[in-house]
């Protein structure tokens, strides 16, 4: 079993984004960490065709779910796509391909050379993204987005209550995150199995996979905790991107702090495959917002 893998869950709309991500991996993956992309079975031929000249191995979402003893594929298929993909990503460990994996989104891009040392500590266990999200919350307050602050506190408190943890509200993100199989196993054996639940059931209860992982790590201590700040520069909201664009911050500068960047796919709808969706009017509106700085 590999000590580390790179893994991305995707689907056809994000094909161009995945190609861009894989191009950045091919350029900067200096220690040749194995790479996997999973997609729905019906989309395997499409992705294998377009990624044929890369080192990535394309596998099916259904293959991941079949490796889970208590997950009903039909049940996951009925879930909203944004929720179902959390189940797939969080069950990847069951394939036994790697002890730990960097869980990437399709809209991620590496901006500098990287190695296993960027994701694993000296003892071989992963760095865990963990802080209190003060930068994001302060920025939200400055822009009058109190709902973002309220949602963060509500979600954190709910998951802490699930595990009986009291104290500070942690953020276990943003993506990409490095997850270790032992943490998922500890959640399964200590929480899910005794209650007769699958991870799909857990996600339906609280659809935030990063919090399930993070609180499980704190509760069951399956691996050492090596906290770190975000691995990628993530622009959660349009005002963040606009602010940094106006300040002239470059990828070269960001590379001193981050392995890569993530631009929300909603702001890059022109990259949708096979074409940008929506009516002519909605496409024109998005194009105008992009020209105005995506505000």
The two beta strands, 108-110 and 35-39, are: unpaired
For domain 2-130+172-291, the CATH class is: alpha beta
**Four-residue CA torsion sign, 73, 75, 80, 86:** negative
What pTM was estimated for this model as a whole? Answer: 0.91
Distance separating alpha carbons of residues 200 and 180, to the nearest angstrom: 19
- CB-CB contact of 255 with 283 (8 Å): no
How far, in whole angstroms, is CA 121 from its chain's centroid? 20
What ranges do the domains of the chain cover?
2-130+172-291
For each of the chain's 295 residues, which pLDDT tens digit applies? 899 999 999 999 999 999 999 999 999 999 999 999 999 999 999 999 999 999 999 999 999 999 998 999 999 999 999 999 999 999 999 999 999 999 999 999 999 999 999 999 999 999 999 999 898 888 889 878 899 999 999 999 999 999 999 999 999 989 999 999 999 999 999 999 999 999 999 999 999 999 999 999 999 999 999 999 999 998 776 666 777 777 778 888 999 999 999 977 666 777 888 876 655 555 555 556 555 544 4
Cα separation, 138 vs 145, in Å, equals: 10
């Amino acid at each position: 079993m590999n000590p580390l893998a790179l893994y991305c869950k995707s689907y056809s709309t994000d094909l161009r984004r995945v190609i861009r991500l894989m191009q950045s991996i091919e350029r900067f993956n200096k220690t040749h960490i194995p790479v996997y992309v999973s997609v729905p079975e019906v989309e395997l031929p499409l992705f294998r065709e377009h990624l044929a000249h890369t080192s990535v191995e394309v596998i099916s979402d259904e293959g991941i779910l079949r490796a889970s003893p208590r997950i009903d594929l039909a049940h996951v298929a009925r879930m909203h796509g944004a929720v179902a993909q959390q189940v797939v990503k969080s069950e990847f460990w069951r394939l036994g391909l790697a002890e730990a994996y960097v869980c990437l989104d399709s809209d991620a891009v590496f901006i500098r050379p990287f190695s296993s040392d960027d994701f694993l500590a000296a003892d071989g266990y992963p760095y865990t993204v963990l802080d209190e999200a003060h930068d994001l919350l302060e920025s939200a307050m400055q822009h009058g987005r109190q709902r973002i602050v309220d949602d963060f506190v509500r979600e954190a408190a709910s998951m802490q209550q699930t595990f009986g943890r009291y104290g500070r509200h942690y953020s276990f993100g943003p993506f990409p995150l490095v997850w270790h199989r032992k943490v998922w196993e500890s959640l399964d054996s200590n929480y899910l199995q005794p209650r007769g639940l699958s991870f799909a059931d857990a996600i339906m209860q609280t659809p935030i996979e990063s919090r399930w992982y993070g609180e499980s790590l704190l509760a069951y201590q399956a691996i050492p905790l090596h906290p770190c700040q975000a691995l990628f520069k993530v622009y959660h909201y349009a005002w963040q991107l606009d602010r940094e664009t106006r300040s002239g911050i470059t990828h070269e500068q960001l590379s001193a702090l981050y392995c890569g960047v993530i631009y929300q796919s909603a702001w890059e709808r022109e990259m949708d495959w096979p074409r940008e969706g929506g009516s002519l009017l909605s496409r024109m509106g998005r194009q105008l917002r992009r020209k105005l700085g995506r505000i």
